[in-house]
Structure 1
Amino acid sequence: MSFHDNDAFRVFCTYAGLTTVKMMSLSVYTIMLRMKNDVFMNTEDKQSKDSKVGININDYIERVRRCHRNDLENIVPFLSLGFLYAITNPSVYSATMCYRIFFASRILHSIAYLTPLPQPSRALCFIVGWFVNATMAWGIISFGMF
């Protein structure tokens, strides 16, 4: 079976693309906030002599950066696990639900992080995404074992 004929892989490609674009949008958002607030990390990035340079100068920009870092820590494993899961030939329904739930958990996690909503909202979103990754990992390991 080729990747082209694997419906689970095609669904993975859709959600991998959506999740990656979601993650990339946070870096663009950070840049926009830095320029709007004239706050930069490096002296060579300063827009004017009054620009602020350094860490933790703008709490909201730092919050966006932490949200982006959290995406990196969770979406990169999803991309690997989702790919491997898709090639184990799971049911299309199972794969679709894993990918869909993970994507929704990351969207909701970002909303909870950036709003900010009170805990445990952010933690619950993280746990749901982690559980999806763990489920796919178990499916991959089980496939290899039997």
Structure 2
Amino acid sequence: MADSVLDFANPVFASYAAYAGLASMKMMGMMVVTVYYRRMKGVHANPEDTLFTSFGDKGKAVVRTDHPDIERVRRLHLNDLENIPPFLVVGLLYVLTKPSSDVAVWHFRVFLASRMLHTACYLGGLQPWRSIFFVFGYVTTVSMAVQVVAMGSL
């Protein structure tokens, strides 16, 4: 009996699982960074959140949805929410196409590296690098999607 493609004995699936886990942790970590920024700046999105301010003077906590630092981090988190879930779905379908291990691992590596570099550039306001790294990640996901569609049946 053949081994399942979705098994950690399959190096492509094992690699996908590791990179998918790291990308998911990065995306979830952005939520923590957003909360950290809100706490450090004493700026909250909801009135009830000011009750739990642990940094600084509680009396200085305000409700505000337009703080530039917090909005930058929040937009970055939103960008992850728009890009990482498609990678997770398309990447898993790509594993089912039984791609070359080397090619698949490079797809996964390029995607994760591009998201990490995109994050650094987004936080630092570095253009055009932010856009360049975004495009690398996007094209990587599209490349896998094209191969999935080519193997599929319409």
Stretch of structure 1 that moved more, 121-130 or 47-56: 47-56
> Do residues 69 (structure 1) and 78 (structure 2) align?
yes
> Do residues 131 (structure 1) and 139 (structure 2) align?
yes
Matches within 5 A, 1:75-114: 75-114=84-123
How many positions carry a matched residue from both structures? Answer: 144
Larger Rg: 2
Match of 2:61 among 29, 33, 51: 51
Q: Distance in 2 between matches of 1:77 and 1:53?
A: 33
| AA in 1 matched with 2:78 | R
**Corresponding residue SS for 1:20:** helix
Q: Distance in 2 between matches of 1:100 and 1:9?
A: 13
**Corresponding residue SS for 1:89:** coil
> Do residues 143 (structure 1) and 151 (structure 2) align?
yes
Q: CA deviation at 1:102?
A: 0.3
Structure 1 vs Structure 2: percent identity of aligned residues?
41
- Report which structure shows greater RCO (CA 8 Å, sep ≥6): 1
Q: Distance in 2 between matches of 1:140 and 1:52?
A: 48
Match of 2:15 among 2, 6, 11: 11
Runs of 4+ in 1 over 2 A off after TM superposition: 47-50
Q: What CA deviation, in whole Å up to 9, does each residue of 1:54-98 have, x standing for no partner?
A: 211x21111000011001100010000000001111011111000
TM-score after normalising by structure 2: 0.89
Stretches of structure 2 that go unaligned for 5 or more consecutive residues are none
Stretches of structure 1 that go unaligned for 5 or more consecutive residues are none
> Do residues 23 (structure 1) and 27 (structure 2) align?
yes
TM-score after normalising by structure 1: 0.94
